[in-house]
């Protein structure tokens, strides 16, 4: 975590190269940077010499700083090496007596010459090496992110295939039964068939809403458009929508006393809450009302949905958000449709917000917890 934060700070300060730096860099740019730094440091050194007595040591520091800048903002080793050699020669020519002439025989000067050249060369090598390591690290991160995205796409496709097939089979089966046996069915049986078709259709509608939710996330950067939103409003809206789908359900909500504002996409976070609540309502067989609690911490806001039901097998808690099945073995046998895509989308949304999500058993059921980091609009 500390390593990642330091890397983010270095990137913001432009001390580490970005992928765009590599794509936009050309030899002409490197030469322009080299000349700009070399001439700039020379002008600074000349100005400094005119206002300060005995500035020799400080002038050397200026050129060492310039060597670092050249090594950082140019490609490869050649520009750093060239700068190191030229700066040592220029110091001898402009800033060492006799002025405007080369003299390598002054008392102690060969040692100074070799020391400064060594410092510049070592600085160039180290800076270029760090830059290459940073590029490698960034490339590895990009490959890892791409692999995670591919895995997520595969999980979503598998979950969609599973979840669509089940309600469609129900709709087709009930429709065929109604059409073939309409005259033999009683009014109550007809109503039951229509209710089953409605339930399956609503399930499909909910899944389409989840899929449309994913389209709000940028596929290239896995980021979302966030604004400063009130947690109370988002939770309230989610509860209202959830109650429309499950009028018989009861949810106990606990919110912080003060107004809590978080950078988020309110529609996406609302969908996360609805998905978790719906899965708990349908699959958990909770013996008590569901509980939704929001806790404000120093650096994050934590949302927790607790049920008092059958729980989840411990070996599946780590993969429950990968879209690989139903709530538990018991719920798989009760005829309820899987919830894989819903929780998979929850994970996608929360991670796109820079947060984390997990599920854990508490002895009498399961708690789903996700967090959103506190950010400012500038961040």
Q: Is 183 helix (H, G, I), strand (E, B) or coil?
A: coil
Among 349, 278, 358, CA closest to 321: 358
Nearest of 249, 261, 258, 253 to residue 288 by alpha carbon:
249
Domain that holds residue 234: 222-379
pLDDT of residue 16: 46
DSSP 8-state code for residue 318: G
Q: Are residues 135 and 227 in the same domain?
A: no
Task: Please tell me whether residues 239 and 129 are part of one structural domain.
Answer: no
**Does residue 44 form part of some domain?**
yes
Residue at 229 is within a domain: yes
214 located within any domain: no
Domain end: 144, 167, 198, which one? 144
The answer to whether residues 94 and 232 belong to one domain is no
Question: pLDDT by residue (tens digit) across 295-309?
Answer: 999 899 999 999 998
Q: How far apart are CA 358 and CA 345, in angstroms?
A: 13
The mean pLDDT of 100-108, rounded to a whole number, is 67
**Over the stretch 256-272, which tens digit does the pLDDT of each residue have?**
988 999 999 888 898 89
CA-nearest of 122, 124, 129, 32 to 80 is 124
237 and 342 in a single domain? The answer is yes
Residue 224 pLDDT: 76
Tokens, residue 163? 């979840």
- Any idea which of 48-52, 190-194, 273-277, 323-327 has the lowest mean pLDDT? 323-327
Find the distance separating the first CA and the last CA of the chain, reported in whole Å: 18
Query: What phi and psi values does residue 288 have, to the nearest 5 degrees?
Result: -135, 165
Phi, psi of 358 (to 5 degrees): -155, 165
Q: Which residue has the higher pLDDT, 367 or 315?
A: 367
Do 14 and 134 lie in a common domain? yes
Q: Whole-model pTM?
A: 0.54
Residue 306 has what pLDDT?
A: 94
The SS3 assignment for 164 reads helix
Q: Rounded to an integer, what distance in angstroms lies between the CA atom of residue 118 and that of residue 111?
A: 10
* Domain boundary residue, one of 122, 144, 166: 144
| Residue 367: its H or E element | strand 366-373
Q: Which residue has the tokens 């270095």?
A: 10
pLDDT at 181: 87
Q: Determine how many CB atoms are found less than 10 A away from the CB of residue 326.
A: 22
Residue with the two structure tokens 């089966």: 173
Give yes or no: residues 346 and 258 share one domain: yes
Quick one: average pLDDT of 350-379? 86
Contacts 24+ apart (CB under 8 A), 91-95: 91/59, 91/60, 91/63, 91/116, 94/42, 94/45, 94/46, 95/45, 95/49, 95/55, 95/56, 95/59
pLDDT tens digits, 46-57? 887 777 666 666
- Sequence-ordered alpha helix ranges (H) in the chain: 2-12, 19-24, 27-51, 56-73, 78-94, 109-180, 187-214, 231-245, 266-283, 329-333, 340-352
Last residue in a domain, options 144, 167, 195? 144
Answer whether residue 173 is part of any domain. no
**Three-state secondary-structure class, residue 253:** strand
Q: Is residue 194 part of a domain?
A: no
The answer to whether residues 132 and 228 belong to one domain is no
Task: Tell me whether residue 166 is in a domain.
Answer: no
Residue 305 inside a domain? The answer is yes
Same domain, yes or no, for 129 and 276? no
Q: Quick one: 258 and 121 in the same domain?
A: no
**Residue 64, domain member (yes or no):** yes
Task: Give me the helix-helix angle, 56-73 and 27-51, nearest 10°.
Answer: 160
Structural domain tally of the chain? 2
**C-alpha–C-alpha distance, residues 215 and 335, integer Å:** 30
Q: Are residues 130 and 245 in the same domain?
A: no
Considering the domain architecture, whether residues 47 and 134 belong to the same structural domain is answered as yes
CATH code of the domain containing 280:
3.30.565.10
The label of the residue with tokens 């006799």 reads: 98
Tell whether 127 and 35 lie within a shared domain: yes
């Amino acid at each position: 975590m500390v390593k990642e934060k330091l890397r983010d700070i270095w990137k913001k300060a432009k001390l580490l190269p970005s992928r765009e730096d590599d794509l936009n860099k050309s030899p002409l740019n490197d030469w322009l940077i080299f000349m700009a730094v070399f001439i700039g440091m020379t002008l600074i050194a000349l100005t400094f010499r005119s206002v300060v007595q005995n500035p020799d040591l400080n002038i050397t520091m200026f050129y060492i700083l310039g060597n670092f800048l050249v090594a950082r903002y140019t490609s490869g080793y050649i520009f750093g090496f060239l700068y190191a050699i030229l700066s040592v020669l220029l110091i001898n020519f402009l800033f060492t007596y006799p002025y405007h002439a080369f003299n390598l025989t002054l008392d102690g000067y060969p040692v100074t010459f070799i020391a400064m050249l060594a410092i510049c060369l070592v600085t160039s090598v180290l800076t270029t090496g760090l830059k290459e390591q940073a590029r490698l690290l960034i490339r590895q991160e990009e490959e890892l992110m791409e692999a995670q995205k591919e895995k997520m796409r595969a999980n979503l496709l598998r979950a969609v295939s599973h979840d669509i097939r089940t309600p469609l089979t129900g709709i087709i089966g009930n429709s065929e039964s109604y059409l073939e046996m309409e005259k033999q069915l009683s009014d109550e049986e007809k109503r039951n068939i229509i209710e089953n078709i409605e339930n399956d259709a609503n399930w499909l509608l909910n899944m389409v809403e989840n899929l449309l939710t994913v389209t709000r996330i940028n596929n290239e950067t896995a980021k979302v458009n966030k604004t400063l939103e009130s947690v109370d409003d988002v939770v309230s809206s989610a509860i209202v929508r959830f109650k429309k789908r499950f009028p018989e359900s009861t949810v106990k909500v606990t919110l912080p006393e003060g107004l809590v504002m978080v950078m988020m996409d309110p529609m996406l976070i609302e969908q996360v809450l609805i998905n978790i609540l719906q899965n708990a309502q349908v699959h958990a067989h909770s013996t008590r009302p569901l509980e939704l609690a929001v806790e404000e911490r120093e650096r994050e806001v934590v949302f927790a949905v607790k049920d008092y039901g059958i729980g989840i097998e411990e070996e599946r808690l780590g993969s429950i958000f990968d879209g690989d099945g139903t709530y538990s073995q018991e719920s798989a046998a009760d005829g309820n449709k899987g919830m894989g895509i819903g929780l998979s989308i929850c994970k996608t949304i929360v991670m796109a917000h820079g947060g984390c999500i997990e599920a854990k058993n508490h002895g009498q059921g399961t708690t789903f917890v996700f967090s959103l980091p506190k950010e400012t609009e500038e961040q």
